[in-house]
Structure 1
Amino acid sequence: MSAAAPAPEDRPEAPGEPPTGGGLEWINRFAALPDAFHHRPDPAPFPGAQLLASSPAMRERLSLTPDDLAAEPWLGMITRGEPVAGTPQVASVYAGHQFGVYVPQLGDGRAKLLGEVRTPAGEHWELQSKGSGPTAFSRHADGRAVLRSSIREYLVSEHMAAMGIPTTRAVALYGSSLRVFRERIESGAVVLRAAPSFLRFGHFEYFHYAGYPERLRQLIDYALDHDFPEHREAEDPVRAMLETVTARTAELMADWQAVGFCHGVMNTDNMSLTGLTIDYGPFAFMDAYDPDYICNHTDQGGRYAFARQPGVALWNLTRLAETLVAHFNAPDVDTAVEQAKSVLEAFQGQFRAAWLRRMRAKLGLQLEREEDESLVQELLARMAAEGIDYTRLFRQLPELEDGGTRQGFIEELEDPQAWQAWEERYRERLAQESRPTPERHAAMRAVNPKYVLRNHLAQTAIERAEDGDFSELERLQRVLSRPFDEQPEAEDLAELPPAWASGIQLSCSS
């Protein structure tokens, strides 16, 4: 297995000027790595390119305007992959375990790293275009994305950020007259996305399993300098990096489980080294609570079912540790292996503690009590038994406690006595808290979203956008940017899903 083909040494300088807007400084550290780490794809046509939407939050972070994003050179750089002086676009190579099976070479098959910028505020962001054409790693595919999947990623990226969940960001969404074939012929689209780093577990797997220890060491040094500079002076920088990655992943899994988010494709190549949610494909927010919920109909065995996500994360971290252990600053291999095991063994406790913190907050509990976990687990068991909507139940807990919708809710349950038993236990637990009830309720509403990007909401916006109407896309973006706020004009977006929503199927092309 060979590394990525090196690009010619005499590659001519790209024409044009660096993109303007907001005083961004282009530094491009990943593109400065040797050619074994990436490939420079050729520009690809994208007819009729136009800006469809952009994130106000990310425009502010990057000091960009809609006019900047809609005009050259940004338009050509993002949608057609055109090179601009000082910003060589690259597609990175990586590998990965997909549904548990190792695939020795994957890579950015439809994503191109435009470059890395430093903002006037001192933030570092890597910018990627997703769907702007083929690369050396497209594996005979077209390197394109469709409007359907692009709208989903665009909306959920900013929605997750608004809920405080670490994620890659979506800066802008572009459409075109390009026709792309997936399950059917669809409109082509491009998402401009951003992240402090796009490094994945699979980047390390590629060089480890291909037998390039020197390249792997170079990648490790790059990650330490780029993403974990605080560990450079540690006694064992690589072990410290693994400890941080493990802790961040545990926190991320707690975030997902707390809001009912199912990723759908937790392959190692879809795991972020810096603890971000990355690569939104067949994701979903649960409607009726079901720990065995599978959001990806490709996942026939349920490997990535909702309740299995934390365990899968640990399995993926173990694969990452296998690539790093030889580079620990340990006296021998056996010691390094034991140190790596110790790091990984901490994951379950880290996840459990992080998840319990979030679930206590959702229930309005400030104090920590030993019985809290069983209280939460009993509630989840009742929700699963009754098919209760996950988001609405937690959002409505203050109302249920006040009696506002309690009676009607109880009457709808198949086993009202079991719910009443839990409710009594919950009231007894609340009696141990000293916070005033109005303050507690406000705190609960600040962590229990009223609005989540349910599948049927995304589907409605997609269907209208495919007909040329982007008003629902704009409305969803606006409402989901404030998921915890009461928004009376958007009450319909917080309702239970309609019957037809159960027929929505998502796959890896979603």
Structure 2
Amino acid sequence: MASFSYIAAPVFADLGDGFYDAVTPARFPMHRLRFRNQRWAERIGLGQLDDAAWETHFARFDPLPDNLKAPLALRYHGHQFGIYNPALGDGRGFLFAQLRDSEAMARRLLDLGTKGSGTTPWSRGGDGRLTLKGGVREVLATEMLEASGVYTSKSFSLFETGEMLFRGDEPSPTRSSVLVRLSHSHVRFGSFQRHAHARDVERLRRLFDFSVEHYVPELHASNDVKDETGLEQRVVDFVKIVGERSARLAASWMATGFVHGVLNTDNMSITGESFDYGPYRFLPRYDPDFVAAYFDEGGRYAFGRQPTVVLWNVARLADALRPLAPDADFHPAMLAFEDAFHMAMRADLLARLGVASRGVDEDARLVDGIYGFLDADAGHPRSVGYDAFFFDWYGGREERAMSKARADRYQGPAFDVFRSALAEFSAARPEILADSYFEREDPCTLLIDEIEDIWSAIDTRDDWGPFEAKIADIRAMGAVMHPHAE
């Protein structure tokens, strides 16, 4: 008998018709567990599930006790590469369960959602499946981002499912999988866009009230969301809060050197959580024009354009909410985004460098020095690299950086500017420099060549050793750098 101690909270179903479609999960010929996120399973009260129960719920998708009676494929629209698409929705995934995070403030509402769990009314002719390589890549992405302090969904479970899939953008046939992700909401910017596009003000209002109640506690606590008085101001405040969350997320991507790849409005969550990892990349070296997706030919979602694109997406959220607040002025919310981004960017870069703030002006001078050096170094055939730079100079210790094999790259006018700015700063957490992690020659990274090598071992030899070793290395880094990441 499976043991459950989680706090069920299947509230999305209360929204009713028009927000989702009940669907039937696919039946797979095989269920071979490849990844189980035990630490988050324990956090949410599912850590005691034995192997059989884990398979029952996260590969066969039998409902969890007191939770959703059937999986729900969510409805939404979205701008994809700037073009509005009204034919979207969960095409290969669904909302499987909702529960409360017993350790977080206000017991935040969490979702267990899927990827690769079969066709839905929104599959648009697709097979509703996920390649095993895609599942492996998403596990690696979420683990690396969590360890880097980025607010991200968590890969909760990955099963290989025994089907052979055909894809146009990778060698086929290829192996299949089904992923379960743990997320802080699947309410997307595109969820609001759908109802605005349909001119369904009643459902738009219902989704707004639901979102405020469950995901914006600071706004819910100060207002009666059912009261018509002050609705316009609540809508403006909602956009401002979501925008500030999104700004902080964009800043964390930039500091981490992460390129999302598909920053469509249907891939933006109102909680400011990063999720849905397709053709992502981590920067090998600083390059504002670096793109993750081979099909992003115009560079719309290039690394350096991510903050601008995220702000554009927030503006589209404001557009979608306009029917609830026809006379609202959203300009202050857009300005709040910019302020929040710059503040978070300074803080995140200083944290990545491991130095304590000295105030806005000095911090900004150091940030300019960081990017000045990284930009000058990027074109060198022996470039230091984005991750290695922050690793070498963590804590602001010049003697440590100069002991590395890359020491000869730390010279020149741009470096002198950086070193001069850094000289005024002290280590924020000097005690962690004694950790064995900093005795390494190189930092833990997740560059595309590493991912391809991990996949090659799985694909050619069914060797999961490199995958498991990388997860262990990432988690060891996270335990030092961001031990309390959510």
Tell me which interval the TM-score lies in, with the shorter structure as reference length. 0.7 to 0.9
Q: Pairwise mapping of residues 98-497 of structure 1 onto structure 2 (< 5 A)?
A: 98-118=80-100, 121=103, 122=107, 124-183=109-168, 184-232=172-220, 233-234=222-223, 236-328=233-325, 333-334=326-327, 336=328, 338=329, 340-363=330-353, 364-368=355-359, 369=362, 371-386=365-380, 387-397=383-393, 401-402=398-399, 405=402, 409=406, 411=408, 413=409, 419-433=411-425, 450-466=443-459, 467-483=461-477
Q: CA deviation at 1:481?
A: 1.3
Instruction: For 1:404 and 1:109, locate their aligned partners in 2 and report how far apart those are by CA, in whole Å.
Output: 48
Q: Give the residue type in structure 2 aligned to 1:273.
A: I
Please, which of 47, 71, 94 is the counterpart of residue 52 of structure 2? 71
Could you tell me which residue of structure 1 aligns to residue 33 of structure 2?
51
Please, which of 70, 75, 81 is the counterpart of residue 93 of structure 1? 75
Decide which moves more: 239-248 or 264-273. 239-248
Q: CA deviation at 1:131?
A: 0.7
Distance 1:440 1:105, change over 3 A: same
Q: CA deviation at 1:25?
A: 3.2
Instruction: For 1:437 and 1:142, locate their aligned partners in 2 and report how far apart those are by CA, in whole Å.
Output: 49
Gaps of 5+ in 2: 224-229, 482-486
Could you tell me which residue of structure 1 aligns to residue 226 of structure 2?
none
Instruction: For 1:98 and 1:477, locate their aligned partners in 2 and report how far apart those are by CA, in whole Å.
Output: 32
Distance 1:189 1:230, change over 3 A: same
Q: Give the residue type in structure 2 aligned to 1:78.
A: F
Distance 1:434 1:391, change over 3 A: closer
Q: CA deviation at 1:484?
A: 5.3
Aligned length: 453
Decide which moves more: 57-66 or 146-155. 57-66
Instruction: For 1:354 and 1:77, locate their aligned partners in 2 and report how far apart those are by CA, in whole Å.
Output: 39
1:423-453 deviations in whole A, cap 9, x for unaligned? 333343344346699569679x89x992132
Distance 1:302 1:65, change over 3 A: same
Q: What is the DSSP-based 3-state SS (H/G/I as helix, E as strand, rest coil) of the residue aligned with 2:18?
A: helix
Instruction: For 1:434 and 1:408, locate their aligned partners in 2 and report how far apart those are by CA, in whole Å.
Output: 24
> Is the 1:291–1:305 Cα contact (8 Å) retained in structure 2?
yes
Distance 1:33 1:477, change over 3 A: same
> Is the 1:80–1:132 Cα contact (8 Å) retained in structure 2?
no
Could you tell me which residue of structure 1 aligns to residue 227 of structure 2?
none
Could you tell me which residue of structure 2 aligns to residue 62 of structure 1?
44
Instruction: For 1:264 and 1:424, locate their aligned partners in 2 and report how far apart those are by CA, in whole Å.
Output: 34
Q: What is the DSSP-based 3-state SS (H/G/I as helix, E as strand, rest coil) of the residue aligned with 1:71?
A: helix
Instruction: For 2:87 and 2:426, locate their aligned partners in 1 and report how far apart those are by CA, in whole Å.
Output: 56
Distance 1:343 1:48, change over 3 A: same
Report the identity percentage.
Answer: 32
Please, which of 5, 11, 26 is the counterpart of residue 8 of structure 2? 26
> Is the 2:25–2:71 Cα contact (8 Å) retained in structure 1?
no
Q: What is the DSSP-based 3-state SS (H/G/I as helix, E as strand, rest coil) of the residue aligned with 2:203?
A: helix
Q: Give the residue type in structure 2 aligned to 1:25.
A: I
> Is the 1:145–1:188 Cα contact (8 Å) retained in structure 2?
yes
Q: What is the DSSP-based 3-state SS (H/G/I as helix, E as strand, rest coil) of the residue aligned with 2:244?
A: helix
Q: Give the residue type in structure 1 aligned to 2:371.
A: Q
Instruction: For 2:3 and 2:474, locate their aligned partners in 1 and report how far apart those are by CA, in whole Å.
Output: 27
Q: What is the DSSP-based 3-state SS (H/G/I as helix, E as strand, rest coil) of the residue aligned with 1:483?
A: helix
Q: Give the residue type in structure 2 aligned to 1:343.
A: A
Distance 1:424 1:104, change over 3 A: same
Decide which moves more: 365-374 or 142-151. 365-374
Distance 1:474 1:250, change over 3 A: same
Instruction: For 2:78 and 2:477, locate their aligned partners in 1 and report how far apart those are by CA, in whole Å.
Output: 34
Instruction: For 1:472 and 1:486, locate their aligned partners in 2 and report how far apart those are by CA, in whole Å.
Output: 21
> Is the 2:95–2:111 Cα contact (8 Å) retained in structure 1?
yes
> Is the 2:165–2:173 Cα contact (8 Å) retained in structure 1?
yes
Q: What is the DSSP-based 3-state SS (H/G/I as helix, E as strand, rest coil) of the residue aligned with 1:141?
A: coil
> Is the 1:378–1:422 Cα contact (8 Å) retained in structure 2?
yes
Gaps of 5+ in 1: 1-18, 488-510
Q: Give the residue type in structure 1 aligned to 2:357.
A: Q
Q: Give the residue type in structure 2 aligned to 1:374.
A: D
Q: Give the residue type in structure 1 aligned to 2:469.
A: R
Q: CA deviation at 1:404?
A: 5.9
Distance 1:321 1:473, change over 3 A: same
Q: What is the DSSP-based 3-state SS (H/G/I as helix, E as strand, rest coil) of the residue aligned with 2:119?
A: coil
Instruction: For 1:275 and 1:82, locate their aligned partners in 2 and report how far apart those are by CA, in whole Å.
Output: 30
Decide which moves more: 306-315 or 354-363. 354-363
Distance 1:455 1:218, change over 3 A: same
Q: What is the DSSP-based 3-state SS (H/G/I as helix, E as strand, rest coil) of the residue aligned with 2:163?
A: strand
TM-score, length-normalised on structure 2?
Answer: 0.86
Decide which moves more: 215-224 or 470-479. 470-479
> Is the 2:392–2:404 Cα contact (8 Å) retained in structure 1?
no
Q: CA deviation at 1:476?
A: 1.3
Distance 1:193 1:438, change over 3 A: closer
Q: CA deviation at 1:302?
A: 0.5
Instruction: For 1:42 and 1:132, locate their aligned partners in 2 and report how far apart those are by CA, in whole Å.
Output: 9
